[in-house]
Amino acid sequence: MWFWLSMITLLCWSGSDLFSKIGCRGQDRYAHLKMVMAVGLVMGIHAAYELFVGGTEISFSILLTYLPVSALYILSMALGYLGLRYIELSISSPICNSSGALVAVLILITGGIRDVNGWQLAAVALVCLGVVCLGVVEANEDDDLRALRQEASNCKYAKSALALILPVLYCLLDALGTFADSLVLRTLNEDSANVSYELTFFLCAVVSFIYVVLVKKQPLVPRQEAPKYVGALCETAGQFAYIYAIGDEEHVVMAAPIISAYCVASVLWSRIFLKEKLSAKHYVAVAAVIVGIVILGVFDA
């Protein structure tokens, strides 16, 4: 089952990328908060199932203990959704997925290099180099060529620092969240931590609803909101499959690289369904990031 669970995770998380992009692009300045509402609602429903059917233990103390980790994850996702308004998914997804390399850097800084081999060091360097190259290519691309290649997708992205800063911030915050997660889970049950995260996300969804709908009087148009909820379902389903795929210790070495390569599928979906086109230099930089992520996945165990 590990292979099919890994493939389900890959497809669900890449699907979440695709539908989140569809739901967040356009001129709606509150689209990222509406995406938080969608994900928070779905996670809240799943948390309720785990509490009342699965019997997962939860308390205010657990919520408070896990709150810093939840805050890092949720803030990173909100910034990621905001960033989808300003940059192609083909570029955003590989940058966001570089958080695994940053976690490796944090572990190197705090724990030394005794458990890290040459392949992992090379992968971290490759990911970092790829992200830097993406920034350089984006900053120096000719405006006319950019407009020409974006014409097919009917989405025009102007050259801006914000377009790259947002996915990079996602990467940093997600890496910090993962690193903090590894520390907190030494004393906290994994199921309880996950439910705590989902309940915190649900609370953020409620706050977002109050601000967007009740305070700012923004409408929720079903046709515009539908992709957000499909993305939220994909995100939650992928997380569920991921837990069991990685939980198979005998096959984690093979499962990890399959899952870590879901940004490859995200790039593919963006090319097929969103008609996004990148320059050759973009694709070289994206490929470097993806290869580095896969190498890290291979040695994840």
| Interval 140-187: pLDDT, tens | 777 777 777 777 666 777 667 888 899 989 989 988 988 888 788 888
CA distance 191 to 119: 32
Domain range holding 85?
Answer: 2-298
Can you list the alpha helix ranges (DSSP code H) found in 161-299? 161-184, 190-209, 222-247, 252-260, 262-272, 280-298
Cβ–Cβ < 8 Å for 257, 35: no
Place of tokens 């190197």: 108
Average pLDDT over residues 288-292: 84
**Which two tokens mark 99?**
């958080």
54 touches 192 (CB < 8 A): no
Q: Answer whether residue 219 shows pLDDT above 60.
A: yes
Split into its structural domains, the chain has a count of: 1
Number of Cβ within 10 Å of residue 138's Cβ equals: 22
Q: What is the mean pLDDT of the chain?
A: 84
pTM comes to 0.83
The pLDDT of 13-37, averaged and rounded, is 92
CA distances to 12, 205, 247 from 191, rounded to whole Å, are 21, 21, 13
Taking each helix axis from N to C terminus, what angle separates 118-140 and 161-184, rounded to the nearest 10 degrees? 160
Q: What pLDDT score was predicted for residue 213?
A: 96
**pLDDT for the residue numbered 15:** 95
